[in-house]
Amino acid sequence: MSDPRTVTDGAEVLLAKPRGFCAGVDRAIAIVERALAVHGAPIYVRHEIVHNKFVVEDLRAKGAVFVEELDEVPHGATVIFSAHGVALDVRREADARGLRVFDATCPLVTKVHVEVAKMRGAGREVVMIGHEGHPEAEGTMGQSDSGMYLVETEEDVAKLAVANPDQLSYVTQTTLSMDDAARIVAALKARFPKIVGPKKDDICYATQNRQDAVKIMAPRCEVVIVVGSPNSSNSNRLREVAKNLGRDAYLVDNVDELRPEWIEGKRTIGVTAGASAPEVLVHDVILRLQEMGAVRVRELEGIDEKVTFPLPKGMG
Ligand code: SF4
């Protein structure tokens, strides 16, 4: 049998801090669990409650039924909106169909929705910086029936045609790369000098803290493993941040995706996790790295997050 040890003898695993679950993900999962406990299965969930396969499978086993559209939900049933938020149309449809709704939209996404409503109320068009096809972008774009534009790149900004450049504002998706967002905001300001936006941007504390932690960790290691699902925006950004710092970086949904050749001969391996990835998956990766020969595991200094969000009224 071949020797499972592949990393350099004495190799060390560095853990980014913070990593993994954020307050919005904790709350969203708690809402589904609470709804199941109080109302019983099935509880319908529109879209993956958070973008993590392990979390979704776990809740499915407990009686959650994941659907993409509300027409898949029987009349009068209970439905939960995912942490990414929904367009106004979806809320209207849920009302029209007599569904009981629990809203797991992260309060930091709701904050962006409120910004959009205020900007549109003030007669401004709104440019959203976000990823096309991502449910958060769709939900935020759907906060107004008109006057919204989605841009993803500086090229999109160059091509943008708006009704009135003097009455323009912008918002951002909460899980963008801070560096990319800063570049796109700069491009918007260069092209539309009167554009107004939120004080900084709408990137949430959890996205920012996890990216900052990778910026501290990546220069100290030879390879970075990010635990997260392929459809998780903030997990993909963590991998990009490490790559932009010149490190090999890989996204794994679970330990079985960890490939020995990525870490062969490495002396320092960095590990982090996206905001929707549970810590148990990080533990699995650490155990595997230890089986492969890592001898030390060290969590780096970092921010202690104290943010929590209450459950919706009537659920607490
Ligand atoms: Fe909320 Fe940020 Fe977590 Fe998304 S990543 S659920 S916006 S705290």
Q: Are residues 155 and 211 in the same domain?
A: no
pLDDT at 2: 47
Q: Are residues 91 and 76 in the same domain?
A: yes
What domain range includes position 156? 108-191
126: DSSP letter: E
Q: How far is the CA of 202 from the centre of ligand 1 (A)?
A: 11
Q: Are residues 123 and 74 in the same domain?
A: no
pLDDT at 1: 43
User: Which of 46, 72, 106 is the endpoint of a domain?
Assistant: 106
Q: Which residues have CB under 6 Å of ligand 1?
A: 22-25, 83, 106, 108-109, 174-175, 204, 206-207, 234, 275
pLDDT at 3: 58
User: Is 126 inside a domain boundary?
Assistant: yes
User: Is 98 inside a domain boundary?
Assistant: yes
User: Is 7 inside a domain boundary?
Assistant: no
Set 48, 115, 125, 136: catalytic member:
136
What φ, ψ does residue 100 adopt, rounded to 5°? -85, 125
Q: Are residues 271 and 231 in the same domain?
A: yes
Written as six digits, the tokens of 141 are 């774009």
The CATH number of the domain holding residue 182 is 3.40.1010.20
pLDDT at 8: 74
Q: Are residues 122 and 79 in the same domain?
A: no
Q: pLDDT tens track of the chain, all 316 residues?
A: 445 677 777 899 999 999 999 999 999 999 999 999 999 999 999 999 999 999 999 999 999 999 999 999 999 999 999 999 999 999 999 999 999 999 999 999 999 999 999 999 999 999 999 999 999 999 999 999 999 999 999 999 999 999 999 999 999 999 999 999 999 999 999 999 999 999 878 999 999 999 999 999 999 999 999 999 999 999 999 999 999 999 999 999 999 999 999 999 999 999 999 999 999 999 999 999 999 999 999 999 999 999 999 999 878 6
What span, in angstroms and rounded, lies between the C-alpha atoms of 184 and 54?
33
Q: How far is the CA of 23 from the centre of ligand 1 (A)?
A: 7
Closest CA to 223 of 178, 257, 267, 183: 267
User: Is 169 inside a domain boundary?
Assistant: yes
CA-234 nearest atom, ligand 1: 5
Q: How far is the CA of 204 from the centre of ligand 1 (A)?
A: 6
Going by alpha carbons, the residue nearest to atom 4 of ligand 1 is 24
User: Which of 71, 90, 106 is the endpoint of a domain?
Assistant: 106
Q: Are residues 35 and 92 in the same domain?
A: yes
User: Is 255 inside a domain boundary?
Assistant: yes
Q: Are residues 163 and 128 in the same domain?
A: yes
How many structural domains compose the chain? 3
CA-27 nearest atom, ligand 1: 6
Mutate to test the pocket of ligand 1, among 108, 236, 309 (most ligand atoms within 8 A of CB): 108
User: Is 200 inside a domain boundary?
Assistant: no
136 is a catalytic site residue: yes
What span, in angstroms and rounded, lies between the C-alpha atoms of 99 and 42?
13
Going by alpha carbons, the residue nearest to atom 2 of ligand 1 is 204
User: Which of 57, 74, 106 is the endpoint of a domain?
Assistant: 106
User: Is 183 inside a domain boundary?
Assistant: yes
The CATH number of the domain holding residue 66 is 3.40.50.11270
pLDDT at 200: 78
Q: How far is the CA of 114 from the centre of ligand 1 (A)?
A: 16
Q: How far is the CA of 108 from the centre of ligand 1 (A)?
A: 7
Q: Are residues 244 and 228 in the same domain?
A: yes
User: Is 64 inside a domain boundary?
Assistant: yes
